[in-house]
Structure 1
Amino acid sequence: MTTFSTAEREVLHRVLRARRDMRHFLPEPVAPEALRRILEAAHSAPSVGYMQPWRFIRITDMRLRAELHDHVAEEQRRTAEACGARAAEVQRLKLEGLRDCSELIAVTLCDGRERYVLGRRTMPEMDLCSAACAIQNMWLAARAENLGMGWVSLFDPDVVGELLQMPRDARTIALLCLGPVPAFYTEPMLERAGWDCRRSLDTLISENHWPQEGAA
């Protein structure tokens, strides 16, 4: 069994704390070997029933990128409307970097995954949870490569599925913007913009039961 030194453990936690959801990118390429390492990190993620539900589509066609950008911009407008009093605030936020990033990668759930009963009989969403683990691996590996990554989720999976010519029972869960950045945000972008703040961990932990209202 591999063991890790204190110094190695501290590096891991540095990467965890330094990870950011990035929206601003530089017009510089990602080295092919770095991209490969990032995708290998994703593919090493755990998956329930060992289903490995993730598929990765590298989007290099700039016309396709433009179509995806236009769709995401429209979904941001609709999301702003749904946020009511905070609509103008949502419209001001930069929530994607589709046209600026060096690499754009769609992460999808593969077709035919219904046959994976192990781990999905009572919790069918575990394929999504498994793919989310792969995306987190990518995020951390990208940060360790000093590259930024941003997860774009403002899209209609059916629209994106048509644009990417996907099978009907496959589904896109993320558009990932990846590339060099001018600087990493010192704190999460939405926290810096005043949208929300990180909650205290102690308020999110209970023991044995759901915390009772008013309990210390």
Structure 2
Amino acid sequence: MDLLEAIIKRRDTRHFLNEPIDLNIIKEAIEVANLAPSVGQLKPTRYVIITDVTIKEKIKANFDTVNFLAKKNAANANKVDSYNELKLEGIIEAPIGIVICCDFSVLTEFSIGTISKPKEMLLASTSCAIHTLWLYLTQCELAMGLVSILNYEELAQTLNLEPNWFPMGYFCVGKPATNYNNIPMLSLKNWNTHKESPIVIVK
């Protein structure tokens, strides 16, 4: 699979097969993600790999609580019905979870490229690592899905994260049960229109 094919095939996956994954593949993918662009070569990205069912259940309960609040805040009943039809996590089904964090402690007064927006630049670096990881896993015929509907303070407590580690989300990893007809799941469910063309301004 070449790079363009991996980019096209990459999906934000919620449905996984009940099949184990070799942790060595995950560790290899993380090594590849470490090659992603990083401002000032600070490499702020940290990975917490989760296979323990008890921890997964706590994180699933975290999601359920926040997801309930999200539904309560919906503007109208029709939107809630549509929302309820969406599967927004695969925490228990996916054999592996990864909480990917940005470590703000790497910043120093001499960190190149961070003087204007230091934390934002680190978050951008971690985002590059996440995307690189996602593409490499896609190339390995694996899938990844972001769970962002969480109480992040509670997530940090559950995993006993270092104080300066900012969790970017919980990522479910496993073999995909579907490719969603090769389009984003939200588009498939008519939740959000997928814009085919980017907005570009030339000056």
Tell me whether the two structures share a fold, i.e. TM-score over 0.5. yes
Q: Which moved more, 1:14-23 or 1:113-122?
A: 113-122
The CA distance in 1 between the partners of 2:129 and 2:73, in whole Å, is 30
The aligned counterpart of 2:184 is 188
Work out which of the residue numbers 24, 31, 34 in structure 2 matches 1:43. Answer: 34
Residues 13-70 of structure 1 show CA distances to partners (whole Å, capped at 9, x for unaligned) of: 1111111000001111112332222111211111111111111001122111100001
Residues 120/82 of structure 1: CA separation in 2 closer, same or farther (3 Å cut)? farther
The aligned counterpart of 2:154 is 159
Question: CA shift at 1:131, angstroms?
Answer: 0.5
The CA distance in 2 between the partners of 1:121 and 1:111, in whole Å, is 14
Matched, 1:94 2:90: no
Letter in 2 for 1:96: E
| TM-score, normalising length: structure 1 | 0.86
Q: Is the 8 A contact 1:38 1:141 kept in 2?
A: yes
Q: Is the 8 A contact 1:80 1:88 kept in 2?
A: no
Work out which of the residue numbers 108, 118, 122 in structure 1 matches 2:116. Answer: 122
Q: Which moved more, 1:78-87 or 1:183-192?
A: 78-87
The aligned counterpart of 2:44 is 53
Work out which of the residue numbers 163, 167, 175 in structure 2 matches 1:168. Answer: 163
Residues 193/32 of structure 1: CA separation in 2 closer, same or farther (3 Å cut)? same
Q: Is the 8 A contact 1:111 1:167 kept in 2?
A: no
For the aligned residue pairs, the C-alpha RMSD in angstroms reads 1.6
| TM-score, normalising length: structure 2 | 0.91
Work out which of the residue numbers 99, 103, 107 in structure 2 matches 1:106. Answer: 99
Q: State the structure with more CA Rg.
A: 1
The CA distance in 2 between the partners of 1:148 and 1:38, in whole Å, is 12
- Pick 1 or 2: higher relative contact order, CA cutoff 8 A, min separation 6: 2
Matched, 1:18 2:9: yes
Structure 2 alignment gaps of length 5 or more: none
The CA distance in 1 between the partners of 2:196 and 2:103, in whole Å, is 36
The size of the alignment, in residue pairs, is 198
**Identity over the aligned pairs, expressed in percent?**
26
The CA distance in 2 between the partners of 1:188 and 1:143, in whole Å, is 14
Structure 1 alignment gaps of length 5 or more: 1-7, 209-216
